[in-house]
Amino acid sequence: MLDRFVAAAETADALNAQLRVDLAAAFRLAAAFDWHESVGNHLSVALSPDGRKFLMNPRWKHFAGINAYDLLSLDSDDLETMQRPNAPDPSAWAIHSRIHAALPHARCILHLHPPYSTALSTLADPTIHPIDGNTARFYGRTATDLGYDGIADDAAEGDRLVSVLADKSVLIMGNHGVLVVAPTIAAAFEDFYFLEKASKTLVLAYSTGKPLNVMSAELAARTSHGWTAYSGMATTHFAQLKQMLDESGSTYASLNREGRCQSFRSLRFRSLRFRSLRFRSLTGAVQHFTSLPRVE
Ligand SMILES: [Zn+2]
């Protein structure tokens, strides 16, 4: 019985560690793609099935320097969060805590101000018109908020964004930026990648001053649906991007402050060795990723 309990705790620890590593990779990659803005913007991923416990970036740390251990473990129901010395950015808390609490299926939430999709958000009509495959990808999946009312830094504004987003996976935030929700970090990252590509195409097309050749509703819906056959690209793309980070010597996967580039893979290897030595205690399971000796 205890063994089964310990095994479940170890599995949960391993899954949470993987989410930490993958979200840290998403921060580094967002910076590499120039989607970030100064030390603002925010990405999060749910830990608990109800979404109320989640990981998010610490206040005002540059995306290019974020490691897995930096991410804050937060609880939407914890009303003391913003009174603590390590409180997250107020806008990040207002948006992400409310969306995670209200929409448990939104496992990963990415909110950024990338150049082209933010430019699109400033138009009187920020609709992503279907004019090619990438723009049509978002047909029928996008909500638009034209109710910008200053910086989003209170729960009421977070709740308002939840109601506008509703069952859609992309939110064009008028006069502000964009937000994507998805079931996994890889899927959210892939949608964000194509959202910025689609916005670039649309902005460039607008810049010609010529009329857009907008697809019919039937063609746009069919093209959007056609993307489901390519959903596997998200996992493959994200894995290859992470591999590039690994090969560059990035420390993003470090799970503790002392470790010099301790990768998740080497920690898992250690974990297996400990298990083979019948390393069995609840304390050990909980501290699994923080108490291991340094891996050079
Ligand atoms: Zn913003």
DSSP letter for 149, please.
Answer: -
Residues near 63 by Cβ (< 8 Å), separated by ≥ 6? Answer: 27, 28, 30, 31, 36, 41, 57
| Residue at 123 is within a domain | yes
Number of domains in the chain: 1
Give Cβ neighbours of residue 223 (< 8 Å, ≥ 6 apart). 130, 133, 136, 137, 139, 215
Alpha carbon of 63 to ligand 1 centroid (Å): 15
Confidence at residue 1, expressed as pLDDT on a 0 to 100 scale:
63
Taking a C-beta distance cutoff of 8 angstroms, is the pair 35, 114 a contact?
Answer: yes
pLDDT at 210: 98
Alpha helices in the chain (DSSP H): 2-32, 90-102, 115-121, 133-136, 155-165, 185-207, 217-226, 233-247, 264-276, 282-286
Backbone dihedral angles phi then psi of residue 53, each to the nearest 5 degrees: -100, 130
Joined together, the tokens standing for residue 246 give: 């690994």
- pLDDT attached to residue 11: 79
Residue 6 lies in a domain: no
Does a structural domain hold residue 28? Answer: yes
C-alpha 63/C-alpha 61 separation (Å) is 6
The 10 Å Cβ neighbour count of residue 3 is 9
> Pairing state of beta strands 170-173 and 142-145?
parallel
Greatest C-alpha distance within the chain: 70
> For the chain, which ranges sit under pLDDT 50?
260-262, 264, 266-296
For residue 113, the CA-to-ligand 1 centroid distance in Å is 6
Q: How far is the CA of 153 from the centre of ligand 1 (A)?
A: 10
* Distance from residue 79's CA to the centre of ligand 1 (Å): 22
Instruction: Give residue 98 CA to ligand 1 midpoint distance, Å.
Output: 15
Quote the ligand 1 centre to 40 CA distance (angstroms). 8
Give the Cβ contact number of residue 225 at 10 Å. 12
Question: Residue 42 maps to which CATH number?
Answer: 3.40.225.10
Predicted pLDDT at 289? 27
| Alpha carbon 135 to its chain's center | 21
Q: Which amino acid is at 23?
A: L
Pick from 5, 58, 60: nearest CA to 38: 60
CA of 179 to the centre of ligand 1 (A): 9
Gap from CA of 261 to ligand 1 centroid (Å): 31
In a domain, 265, yes or no: no
Please indicate, yes or no, if residue 143 is contained in any of the structural domains. yes
- What is the predicted pLDDT for the residue at 8? 72
Could you report the per-residue pLDDT of 120-133, keeping only the tens digit for each?
Answer: 999 999 999 999 99
Q: What's the CA-to-centroid distance between 152 and ligand 1, angstroms? A: 8
**How many angstroms separate the alpha carbon of residue 105 from the centre of ligand 1?**
21
Full domain range(s) for residue 74: 12-237
DSSP 129: -
Alpha-carbon distances of 193 from 85, 121, 175, rounded to whole Å? 34, 16, 20
CA 99/CA 166 separation, integer angstroms? 10
Looking at the domain assignment, is residue 286 inside a domain? Answer: no
Answer whether residue 252 is part of any domain. no
**C-alpha 95 – ligand 1 centre gap (Å):** 9
Residue 148 lies in a domain: yes
Indicate the angle between helix axes 2-32 and 264-276, nearest 10 degrees. 170
pLDDT number for residue 151:
82
